[in-house]
C-alpha cells in the first residue's frame, strides 16, 4: 500500500478465491487510504453468473464498497492471474484511473518482506526479559501462495532464530509450491534453494477451501479448549495437519519448541455455518415460568 501511494495510485486491483482473506484485507486497507478497490474473485462455473452473496469475507468486502468481479477457476488456470489483473488494469487506465496491481495472495518480493519483518519482530520480543531463555526450533504455518512461508524462512535464516520452517500446503501440488517459493527467492536474489530452506507438507484434504468434518471438529476442539479461533482455509488445515504429524511422528517433534503462526482469516468460518450447525447447535429456551408470574412482569420495564 505504501508503494501504491508513493506511485500516485488512486485504486488497487488484486485477485483471489471467492473467500480470499487477502482480498478482504486489501479492500479494508484500501479504504483506510481512500483508494478504490477492485477485486477479481474466482469461483466455480456454476456460480460465476450468480450474486456471490454476503457470507464471510464477501460481506466485509461489499460492506466497504469494493468492486467485485467474478471469474471462474478454469479461466484463472487457462489465462493466468496476471492476465486477468491486466484486463482490469487496461480498462481502468482507459477510464483515466491510476491502478496499482497486487498479485494473488500479495505474494511477490515486496509482499514477502512483511514476514521477514515479522521474524524480526519475533526476534525482538524474545530478547525481552519476560521471555528469559525461550527460543524456537521450528516454525509452523499454512502455505497458500508461498509469500508467508518464504518470508518466514528467509527471515529465520537471516536472524538469530535459525528455526526450521514447516509449511502445510492448503491446495495444489507440492512441487508447484516449491517452485512458487523458489521464484520468490530468485526475485529477492537470495541465492538459496527453497527445498533447502523450508519443508512443505500436503494438507489440502478434499481441496482448497473445502473442509472435512474432521477438520471442522478439530477447529471446534481448539476453540473450546483455548479460545483461539482458527480459520477453515489456512491455519485450521495447517494446525490440523501439524497435530496429525505430531501424533504420527512423535520422535520427529519430541523435545522441540515450536512456534505456530496463525495467519488470520476467521471470517471464512461464516461460510461454513451449515457444516458447523450440528456441531455448535447447543441452545435451549430459558425456563422462567416458575420464577415469575405475569402480574409481576411490569417491574422489569
Q: Is 297 among the domain residues?
A: no
Residue 20 among the catalytic residues: yes
Same domain, 93 and 147: no
pTM score, two decimals? Answer: 0.90
Which residue pairs, CB below 8 angstroms and at least 24 apart, start in 61-64?
61/23, 61/24, 61/27, 61/37, 64/27, 64/28, 64/30, 64/31, 64/37
pLDDT of residue 73: 95
The confidence score (pLDDT) of residue 188 equals 92
In a domain, 199, yes or no: yes
Question: 41 lies in which domain range?
Answer: 2-106
Same-domain status, 37 and 113? no
On whether residue 301 sits in a domain, the answer given is: no
Residue 281 resides in a domain: no
pLDDT at 228: 97
Which pLDDT score, from 0 to 100, does residue 290 have?
A: 60
Q: What is the CATH number of the domain that holds 91?
A: 3.40.50.1100
Catalytic entry in 6, 20, 55, 159 = 20
Question: What is the rounded CA–CA span in Å between residue 122 and residue 163?
Answer: 12
Both 134 and 44 in one domain: the answer is no
Q: For residues 31 and 46, state if they share a domain.
A: yes
Count of structural domains, the chain = 2
Give the integer Cα–Cα distance in Å for 186 and 192.
8
Choose the final residue of a domain: 90, 106, 122.
Answer: 106
What does the DSSP 8-state code read for residue 136? -
Do 102 and 135 lie in one domain? The reply is no
What is the mean pLDDT for each group of 10 consecutive residues in the chain (301 residues)?
Answer: 97 96 97 98 96 94 98 95 97 98 95 95 93 92 95 95 96 89 94 94 94 96 96 96 97 97 93 88 78 59 57
Judgement on whether residues 124 and 214 belong to the same structural domain of the protein: yes
**Same domain, yes or no, for 135 and 266?**
yes
Q: Are residues 92 and 118 in the same domain?
A: no
Q: 128 with 222, same domain? A: yes
Amino acid at each position: 500500500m505504501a508503494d501504491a501511494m508513493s506511485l500516485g495510485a488512486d485504486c488497487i486491483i488484486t485477485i483471489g478465491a471467492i473467500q480470499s482473506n487477502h482480498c478482504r484485507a486489501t479492500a479494508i486497507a484500501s479504504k483506510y487510504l481512500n483508494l478504490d478497490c477492485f477485486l477479481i474473485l474466482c469461483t466455480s462455473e456454476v456460480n460465476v453468473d450468480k450474486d456471490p452473496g454476503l457470507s464471510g469475507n464477501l460481506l466485509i468486502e461489499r460492506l466497504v464498497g469494493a468492486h467485485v468481479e467474478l471469474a471462474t477457476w478454469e479461466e484463472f488456470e487457462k489465462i493466468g492471474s496476471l492476465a486477468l489483473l491486466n484486463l482490469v488494469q487496461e480498462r481502468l487506465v482507459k477510464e483515466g484511473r491510476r491502478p496499482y496491481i497486487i498479485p494473488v495472495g500479495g505474494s511477490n518480493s515486496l509482499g514477502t518482506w512483511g514476514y521477514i519483518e515479522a521474524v524480526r519482530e519475533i526476534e525482538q520480543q524474545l530478547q525481552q526479559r519476560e521471555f528469559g531463555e525461550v527460543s524456537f526450533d521450528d516454525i509452523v504455518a499454512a502455505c497458500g501462495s508461498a509469500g508467508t512461508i518464504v518470508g518466514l524462512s528467509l527471515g529465520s535464516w537471516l536472524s538469530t532464530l535459525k528455526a526450521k520452517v514447516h509449511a502445510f500446503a492448503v491446495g495444489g501440488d507440492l512441487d508447484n509450491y516449491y517452485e512458487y517459493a523458489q521464484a520468490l527467492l530468485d526475485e529477492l536474489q537470495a541465492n538459496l534453494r527453497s527445498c533447502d530452506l523450508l519443508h512443505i507438507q500436503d494438507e489440502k484434504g478434499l481441496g482448497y477451501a473445502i473442509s472435512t468434518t474432521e477438520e471442522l471438529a478439530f477447529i471446534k476442539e481448539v476453540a473450546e479448549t483455548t479460545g483461539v479461533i482458527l480459520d477453515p482455509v489456512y491455519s485450521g488445515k495447517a494446525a490440523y495437519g501439524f497435530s496429525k504429524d505430531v501424533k504420527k511422528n512423535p520422535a520427529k517433534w519430541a523435545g522441540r519448541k515450536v512456534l505456530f503462526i496463525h495467519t488470520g482469516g476467521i471470517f471464512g468460518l461464516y461460510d461454513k455455518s451449515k457444516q458447523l450447525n450440528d456441531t455448535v447447535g447447543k441452545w435451549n429456551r430459558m425456563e422462567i415460568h416458575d420464577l415469575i408470574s405475569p402480574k409481576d412482569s411490569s417491574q422489569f420495564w
